[in-house]
Structures are given as structure tokens and as C-alpha cells.
Amino acid sequence: MSTPSTFSKRLILFPQDKGGIGKSFVATLLYDFLTEHEVRLKTFDLDSANSTFKRYVPAAEFINTDVDANKLGVLDQLFDELANVDTVLADNRAAGGAKILRYIEDSRLTQLQADIQFAFIFVVIAVDDKDANSQIAEIVERYGDRVRWLVVRNYRDGATLSLFDQSKSRARLLELGAVEIDLPCLVEVTRNRLQLANLTVGMGRDSDKLPLLDRSRCVQFHERVGREFAKASDLLLK
């Protein structure tokens, strides 16, 4: 079943289980981009143990997904909020992707997209890691054209993504019309200071909690990432 060609509501999720690939960081960057474009947005943090996303975005609400499968109805909040806003963005916990996908299947949410004019957007993070790429392959095979895809190519650990670039899953994603964007490397010291100050990159541009050079790096990084997300404006904004 194909996703609807036009829609007015979006549910943005991170379906990968793999930790340490940058899901929460990308979620904060998406938050900056969407709020800057005045999108009516509701955010959730599904990681009650580490709560990385909520530290950066205090308005985000917790949903505890560390529950048995028969209690995953707590995730109905994601769907219910679509009645109040245009976009729901949820950051997932490491090792939490399987539960998200179980919930989607049990609730038949992909089948409801056309009926109520909303679209799933799966954000997958591409890194040069065998396990991460295997997870992407499994998710793409399972969901295919039932969702829309945003691929974030994370260059934090190197200048190339040869494993992902040569994978069959990337070729399949491109066939499905996935939008690819590049996430450049942010200087480690600035990332660490943002984390200590609980600031997104957008907030860090003019925060007196950061030294001048870090604020300057945030300005440049924010502009670069904004240009990348703009490539996905049809997917994220229109």
C-alpha cells in the first residue's frame, strides 16, 4: 500500500534500535527546523531512562515505553495529538524501535494514513556501522512504500559512508523516493558544551551559557543543517 500523495498531518518517528548513532541529536535539529518554520508541533521523548531529547526540549512529554507489549497503548498519545497539531515528533530510545514497530502493526496505523490524511515519516540515521545498516535493511524491507523516508547521512565519525552507500537498502530507499540529507560534523567541544547546557544548536547561537567561539560554530552549523533540511521541505513542511 502506498502512502498518500498529499497530506496535512505528519507523524515523525525514529524506528531504529541501534543506540549511539545520533537519533536524539537529529531529533533536536528537526525540532529547531520545524519550530523555526512555525510548524504546529508536539514533541515526545520515549526514553524515560536517559531523557536526552527532553533535556534539550523541555516542552517534550515523556511516554514510558518500558512496558509489556500489551501496554503499548500508551503510545496512542502520538496519534491522538494529531488532532491538535500538524506534526508530531517523537525521539525513540535505544533498543526501543521494535516496540514502536510492534505498536504500529498492532494498531494498523499505516493503513489509516489515507483515511485521516496523515503520513508516517520514518527518519533513519545512516552511519558506517554494520548493525545499524542491517536494521535499516530490515525496516525498509518491512515497510517499503507504506511510509515516507528521510535518510540522515551522519558524518560525525568520518568523511565517507561506504558501507551504507554500497548497500542494497540505500538503493531501495532511493527507489522509494527517500530524501537524503547530509549531517556534517559539529566540533566535539561544542557538542559537549551544548549537552552540558541542555541547549539545541539553534538555542546555542545566542546563548550566554556558551563561549563566543561555540556560539559562532552553532550559527554556521545551524545554517548548514537548515539548508540540508530544506531539501526535504516537501516532506516536512508542505
Number of neighbours of residue 71 by Cβ within 10 angstroms: 11
pLDDT at 33 over 70: yes
pTM comes to: 0.93
DSSP string covering the chain, please? -PPPSS-SEEEEE-----SSSSHHHHHHHHHHHHHHTT--EEEEE--TTT-HHHHH-TTPEE----S-GGGGGGGHHHHHGGGT-SEEEEEPPTT-HHHHHHHHHHHTTGGGHHHHTEEEEEEEEE-S-HHHHHHHHHHHHHHGGGSEEEEEEE-TT-S--HHHHT-HHHHHHHHTT-EEEEEPPPPHHHHHHHHHHT--HHHHTT-TTS-HHHHHHHHHHHHHHHHHHHTTHHHHT-
pLDDT computed for residue 38 by the predictor: 96
What percent of the chain stands above pLDDT 90? 77
Average pLDDT over residues 131-145: 94
- Model confidence band, residue 6 (pLDDT cutoffs 50, 70, 90): low
Average pLDDT over residues 8-31: 93
pLDDT computed for residue 95 by the predictor: 66
Partners of 12 in beta bridges = 89, 121
Which regions of the chain does DSSP assign to beta strands (E)? Answer: 9-13, 41-45, 61-62, 87-91, 118-126, 148-154, 179-183
pLDDT computed for residue 60 by the predictor: 95
Give whole-number Cα distances, 227 to 115, 167, 183, in Å: 33, 26, 10
Average pLDDT over residues 192-215: 96
Average pLDDT along the chain: 92
Partners of 11 in beta bridges = 88, 120
Average pLDDT over residues 138-164: 93
User: Would you give the DSSP letter of residue 5?
Assistant: S
pLDDT at 162 over 80: yes
For residues 199 and 184, what is the distance between their CA atoms, to the nearest angstrom? Answer: 18
With respect to CATH, is domain 9-186 assigned 3.40.50.300?
Answer: yes
Question: Is pLDDT larger for residue 158 or for residue 192?
Answer: 192
Average pLDDT over residues 210-224: 98
pLDDT computed for residue 1 by the predictor: 46
pLDDT computed for residue 66 by the predictor: 82
pLDDT computed for residue 52 by the predictor: 85
Least confident of 60-64, 96-100, 130-134: 96-100
Average pLDDT over residues 148-168: 92
pLDDT computed for residue 32 by the predictor: 97
Angle in degrees, CA 155, 120, 125, rounded to 5: 15
Residue-range domain boundaries for the chain: 9-186
pLDDT at 2 over 80: no
pLDDT computed for residue 69 by the predictor: 79
Q: Which residues contact 195 (CB under 8 A, 6 or more apart)?
A: 55
Is the CB of residue 24 less than 8 Å from the CB of residue 93? no
